[in-house]
Structure 1
């Protein structure tokens, strides 16, 4: 079972990296910051594979993407993303699998806590690079610019979770309990 979820986690990491590369070619300014392509697979990983695997996927994805494509720039953007995505994956898995919260509640909690962690990490890391990352910039980046991505997450993540769980049940695949 552990091997199965490592494979799933690797698949979610690969999907996140491919989605980021696809979104990058869209003719909009900062398409990654607008559509949040890495967030969806990491949240799915937490929901499907559990908190440990979600955390692992969130930590590794920005770093692996940087090694493959040079984006996101590892400091301070990539490191901030590593904290944010790891939080998404962990909290999604913990609230859904361990606390057994409603999936929509788990998603909202994950998104809010992840954004708060991003804000703290960005404020600290950007501070080391002499870039002022204040509250207004946090709100702008985490909620206003990202609104289309947030809406996409709210619309598709839970139906995808339900579809994957239904597939697992129909094919008698084990599900993570913790």
Structure 2
């Protein structure tokens, strides 16, 4: 990874750690506003799939270790799957396939949620745990709807400002 990309990736990781802490200190729930998602999606879109993937793996893992958010089990593995796919997919579509920003962003958001759902469905089955997968999906979409809207408004606006 190039030095500039490494530095920018570190800044996105830092933002992914600070934004949730800031929201929680103001009394806002991370599961509603999804503050960690924004820097990871931006890292993929701006820096490419390698950096997006790296930021998507390191940010939630480091946050869990340092702050306990997300909880190690059962949420961290689901967030790792979702956010790693966010970072990689957004960068791959936007930087490698040259898809539009909107297509890259929305596809990455859907693919990340599918990765999380896949892990939940098959991981729970492998452990013999019966989890109502569709209620998890519906709950996550309804709860996270404000965050999804924020991502769809904020990320394109930020990308217009930072990408030359």
Q: Does the TM-score normalized on the shorter chain lie above 0.5?
A: yes
Aligned to 2:151: 153
Task: Note the C-alpha offset of 1:129.
Answer: 8.8
Aligned to 1:138: 137
Runs of 5+ unmatched residues, structure 2? none
- TM-score by length of structure 1 reads 0.85
- TM-score by length of structure 2 reads 0.92
Runs of 5+ unmatched residues, structure 1? 167-178
Q: In the alignment, is the contact (CA less than 8 A) between 1:55 and 1:89 conserved in 2? A: yes
SS of the equivalent of 1:75 reads coil
Q: Does 1:25 align with 2:45?
A: no
Deviation string 1:94-151 (CA, Å, 9 cap, x unpaired) is 010011111011111111111111111233445549462411221221x111100000
Aligned to 2:81: 83
SS of the equivalent of 1:72 reads coil
Q: Which runs of 4+ in 1 moved over 2 A?
A: 25-28, 122-131
Separation in structure 2 between the aligned mates of residue 64 and residue 131 of structure 1, nearest angstrom: 29
| Aligned ranges 1:105-124 → 2 under 5 Å | 105-124=103-122
